[in-house]
Amino acid sequence: MEAARIDIPDHAPHVLVVDDDRRLRDLLARFLTENGYRITTAASAAEARAKAENFVFDALVLDVMMPGESGFDYARSLRQTSQIPILMLTARADAQDRVTGLEIGADDYLPKPFEPRELLLRLGNILKRAAPAEAPAQEIPETVRFGPFTYRFDRGELRKGEEIVRITEREREILTILGSRAGDNVAREELAGSGLAANERTVDVQINRLRRKIESDPANPIFLQTVRGVGYRLVIDR
């Protein structure tokens, strides 16, 4: 019998699970999905970096003991550009390892073997601590238009006329931020956010990819403009 498909809402926290143990990755993915998280998995730090090119993650569950680049090394490199919440997993219960992980900037540390519900509680706690203060609600239009393009916020859907334009989740997030600001200038830092892809270089790369989809001449953009010394703005139809 085929397992029932679990529908996870788009606004659910998106967690990247990085562990070289395939069985544990699959178990965590299934368990966290059943508890309302969107999950992406990676078997190594290199694969995690590749996944971060196209997705924005809200938290990272990271194994310490991986071949090649260790979880400690990966977390250390992440902390140079990102404040994404990190929950570290390890087979080691040594106190010095826990201290090392916390010194690097990990938010919590869980030795293997662990009770899945404890991981769920710890993950929920670090996400709550990382959540920004709630800002006053702003009215966002259902759609914005720029030239032949229409972007619909509730669906994260970009169309050129009647044709749907395929965009990545990262590009969708950038369009949502720029479109909701009604043509105002938006700083690179705001577009980067605090997730795993949070650095200015990645924002510039994603902007260039998005321009290739919406601009007839990406080198001289009409809609997705650079604001020198600040960031970017989306020039929308009024």
Q: In this predicted structure, what is the pLDDT of residue 201? A: 64
**Global confidence as pTM:** 0.58
Q: In this predicted structure, what is the pLDDT of residue 148? A: 94
* More confident of the two residues 233 and 200: 233
Considering the chain, what is the average pLDDT of its residues?
84
58-77 mean pLDDT: 91
The helix/strand/coil state of 57 is coil
Residue 1 pLDDT exceeds 60: no
Retrieve residue 191's tokens.
């577009």
Q: In this predicted structure, what is the pLDDT of residue 7? A: 64
Residue bearing tokens 């562990």: 19
Cβ contacts of residue 68 below 8 Å, gap of 6+?
44, 45, 46
Q: In this predicted structure, what is the pLDDT of residue 3? A: 42
Residue-range domain boundaries for the chain: 14-130, 143-234
Distance CA 52, CA 14 (A): 11
What are the pLDDT digits (tens) for 86-111? 999 887 666 676 777 777 888 888 88
Is the Cα dihedral 151, 184, 174, 59 positive or negative?
A: negative
> Which stretch of 87-96, 145-154, 211-220 has the lowest confidence by average pLDDT?
87-96
Residue 98 φ then ψ, to 5°: -65, -40
Q: How many other CB atoms sit within 10 Å of the CB of residue 45? A: 23
| β pairing state of 149-152 and 143-146 | antiparallel
Retrieve residue 156's tokens.
């994260």
Retrieve residue 58's tokens.
């809200």
What's the CATH fold of domain 143-234?
Answer: Arc Repressor Mutant, subunit A (1.10.10)
Cβ contacts of residue 191 below 8 Å, gap of 6+?
174, 177, 178, 203, 207, 231, 232
Q: In this predicted structure, what is the pLDDT of residue 79? A: 86
Do the beta carbons of residue 66 and residue 19 sit within 8 Å?
yes
Least Cα distance to 166 among 220, 214, 219, 224 occurs for 214
* More confident of the two residues 217 and 137: 217
Residue 5 pLDDT exceeds 90: no
DSSP element (H, E) containing 157: strand 157-160
Burial 201-236 (b: 16+ CB within 10 A, else e): ebbbebbebbbebbbeeeeebebbbeeeeebbbbeb
Is there a shared CATH topology between the 14-130 domain and the 143-234 domain?
no
Residue 145 φ then ψ, to 5°: -125, 140
What's the CATH fold of domain 14-130?
Answer: Rossmann fold (3.40.50)
